[in-house]
Amino acid sequence: MQQQPPRNMSLRGAVDLAAVKAAGEAKEKAQERARTAREQGAPVASSAVLDVDEASFEQEVLQRSASVPVVVDFWADWCQPCKQLSPVLEKLAEEYNGKFILAKLDIEANQALAQSILSQLGVQGIPFVLAFVGGQPVPMFQGAVPMEQARQVIDQLVDVAEQQFGIVGEPIGESPADDAEESALPEVPEDPALAAAHDALDRGDLGGAVQAYRNVLADRPGDEEAKAGLAQAELLQRTIDLDPAAVRSEAAENPTDPQAQIRAADLDLVGGHVEDAFGRLVETVGRVFGDDRNTVRVHLLSLFEVIGTEDPRVAAARQALARKLF
């Protein structure tokens, strides 16, 4: 049975290809709920980081978590590890610009609330980080952790919030007036050349989609949508006829075989396991040499295009690759 990729598919965000359309619809619904909530006077984030206490916790954390993941940092002035972790969380909150909100709770100033939450979860010490999504608690981590580890956990939180709860944030400071201005803009007609690629994907014609994207890039080499579309279509084309069990068995038995590792990494990516795909190829770069190393390196760079070079996991993988190469 031929695979039918969805229109305007995207692997950005590390979702399974089969879930892309549903994820997009969930995101649209969540954004609509957020706009409705603003119109009804629900709390709207004016900053990515805020201080909360017993009086504001219900509104600023529990109610707000219906429209954006809220990460709660339990801290105290005497806690030295807290002083290491809090700046990391604050930097990430500003960087993610509304994909999650960081709420800081001083446990000394709010002892009853903090003790109630921490005791229910069996937490004995701080720093402790707990998220709320749709009013539901999601434990994150305890103790000071490095930036990249915190980033990975937050990435997972953002994905879970969107895929399972249909909850997404919005850029900080966005207002109903901004929405009205945006909706008033005339709709830009779809590029005919890109439309041809999208139609080919709808028909399951991966070869036709690949060629259509290449045609666009021949005329417009810098077209980012065509670059991403081509990388995604080629990935599907490479994996559509693979036997996952056989591919993974071959990769396990041949850790220095570039093609075996490349095929396994492709399957990892199609399944949404972005870090696994990148990590597999980074490790392979460290095991092989010469032309084999360059083959794996170039393929890894092509997978970066699939996910999108702005994705933080791509930045992390680039750093790991550089360490292996230099």
Q: What is the DSSP string of 79-115?
A: -HHHHHHHHHHHHHHHHHTTSSEEEEEETTTTHHHHH
Catalytic-residue membership of 82: yes
Q: Which two tokens stand for residue 294?
A: 């360059």
Q: Supply angle C-alpha 216, 227, 307, rounded to 5.
A: 155
Crossing angle (nearest 10°) for helices 192-202 and 224-239: 20
Give how far Cα 107 sits from Cα of 113, 149, 227, 253, Å: 8, 24, 49, 52
Give how far Cα 218 sits from Cα of 200, 211, 321, Å: 18, 10, 30
Catalytic-residue membership of 50: no
Give how far Cα 7 sits from Cα of 19, 186, 233, Å: 12, 22, 11
Q: Which two tokens stand for residue 238?
A: 């490479």
Helix ranges (DSSP H) in the chain? 20-39, 57, 80-96, 111-121, 147-165, 176-184, 192-202, 206-219, 224-239, 244-253, 258-270, 274-287, 290-307, 312-325
What value does the CA radius of gyration of the chain take, rounded to a whole number of Å? Answer: 22
Spatial distance between the Cα atoms of 86 and 73, rounded to a whole number of angstroms: 7
Which listed residue (45, 68, 82, 320) is catalytic? 82
Which listed residue (20, 30, 79, 231) is catalytic? 79
Give the residue numbers annotated as catalytic, written as ranges. Answer: 79, 82
